[in-house]
Structure 1
Amino acid sequence: MKYTMKYTVFFDLGNVLLFFDHHKMKQQVATCCNLSLEETSFLLQKYLDDYERGSITTQTLYSDLLELGGKSISFTDFTHALSNIFQPNLPVIALLKKMKARGVKLFLLSNTCDAHFSFAQKHFAFLQLFDGFILSYEVGARKPEREIYQKALEIGNCSHKECFYVDDVPAFVQAARSLNIDSEIYLKPEILHHHLIQRGIL
């Protein structure tokens, strides 16, 4: 079945465009802050929701963890330990480049924090392909909340009939579908390629 061309595509970041290793992050933060792995895991999980909403800053996280661990390290070293956890998903990035060459508008829709996104922007040039970013810490809402999808449509300047959304988390895809946004779960590059061709995006 062939669909009408979609002009705006929203992509999740983690495990779609960039693979990430949360265990590596916890190990690195534990080492640099002189905390146990168990303490670090608990604290990062405790802060996660507020951090990804932008309710607390990386500076706050840095200060609190250093106070608990009693070790003096630079803010730069801390943010590197927190963020040096990504590897690019090259086949999907290649698809991004093909879409961009066809004039498709690309937007990133991600639950993330300022440290991770700043690191990604510095190290992964493919992010320059995007026309805009809808980031949880900037909009004050996280997937699967309705507000972040509505903000995506607003920033993307499109209706739910004019876009396509890709995410690896089924609950986030289902939330988008409940708003009548055409969405698919990311499984592997070949399947994503099929979805894009099926809709006339590629």
Structure 2
Amino acid sequence: MTFLFDIGNVLLKLHFQRFHLAILGSENAPLPADLADLKDPYETGKLSDQEFVEQSLDILNHPLTSDEFVAAWENIFSPNLPMWEVVHTLKKQGHRLILFSNTNSIHARSFLKTYQDFNLFDHHHFSQEVGTIKPLPEFYQSAIENYNLVPGETLYLDDLPENITTGKKFGFSSWQYDLNDHQACVAWLYTQGITLAKSS
């Protein structure tokens, strides 16, 4: 069986409030719309790291250095430990594991270096490398072609409903993951023929 894993709020918890606090002075401060608009171009590789950082600092009109901005941008992750237990079990069972995520090169370099367990994955399918993002069909189709996926033998976990909807259209057995209800995911995996050892 092949497993497609989203990263944000599946494998890693996202703490964007840390970034907001560092650059805006408050965890609850909204990002400027112009900065939010850089997300998709950056995550599809249309902006380089340097362009993203420079344009972000221009929009913010903030005295942060580029290095300080990058450090704040990287500091948004923590591991979702119950899901990593699942990953370890699936790897031991011999399943193929693929990272399947909208991300950007600064984040990807950071989490791949910080969390060595990402080495358990056989492949990664990242938006900034393939030039398209979920939930667009092209993202899914390119993964099918690149990794010879058989949809009926592919399980897909993601936290966003729109991404799950597209996954189901391609025939993937798909589960919308909720950080606050990990056991529901474990129960769903059981219905798919995947048995996980209970944590001691």
| Matching residue's letter, 1:116 | H
Q: Map residues 96-135 of structure 1 onto 2, 5 A cutoff.
A: 96-135=87-126
Partner of 1:43: 34
1:139 is displaced (CA, Å) by: 0.5
In the alignment, the residues of structure 1 paired with residue 71 and residue 62 of structure 2 have an alpha-carbon distance, to the nearest angstrom, of 19
Q: Which position in structure 1 is the counterpart of 2:148?
A: 157
Alignment match of 1:194 (pick from 184, 187, 193): 187
The answer for unaligned runs of 5 or more in structure 1 is 1-6, 32-36
**Which one has the bigger helix percentage?**
1
> How large is the RMSD of aligned CA atoms in angstroms?
1.7
Gaps of 5+ in 2: 196-200
1:71 pairs, out of 56, 63, 80, with 63
Alignment: residue pair count: 189
CA contact (8 A) 2:5 2:97 kept: yes
What is the letter of the counterpart of residue 98 of structure 2?
A: F
Q: Is the 8 A contact 1:141 1:147 kept in 2?
A: yes
Shift of 1:165: 0.3
- Contact 1:26-1:41 at 8 Å conserved across structures: no
Contact 1:9 1:165 in 2 (8 A): yes
Q: 2:138 aligns with which of 136, 141, 147?
A: 147
Within a 5 Å distance, the mapping from 1:72-87 to structure 2 comes to 73=65, 75-87=66-78
Counterparts of 2:74 and 2:64 in 1: how far apart (Å)?
19
2:185 and 2:112 map into 1 onto residues whose CA distance is 24
The worse-fitting range, judged by mean Cα deviation, of 179-188 and 136-145 is 179-188
Say if 2:20 is the partner of 1:26.
Answer: yes
3-state SS in 2 of match to 1:141: coil
| TM-score, scaled relative to structure 1 | 0.86
Check conservation: 2:23, 2:62, Cα contact below 8 A.
no
TM-score, normalised with respect to structure 2: 0.87
Question: In the alignment, does 2:2 pair up with 1:11?
Answer: no
Say whether residues 1:59 and 2:53 are aligned partners.
Answer: no
What is the identity percentage for the equivalent residue pairs of Structure 1 and Structure 2? 31
Q: How many angstroms apart in 2 are the aligned matches of 1:12 and 1:175?
A: 13
Matched residues in 2 for 1:173 and 1:80: separation? 31
Secondary structure at the counterpart of residue 176 of structure 1: helix
* Partner Cα distance (1:121, 1:138) in 2: 15
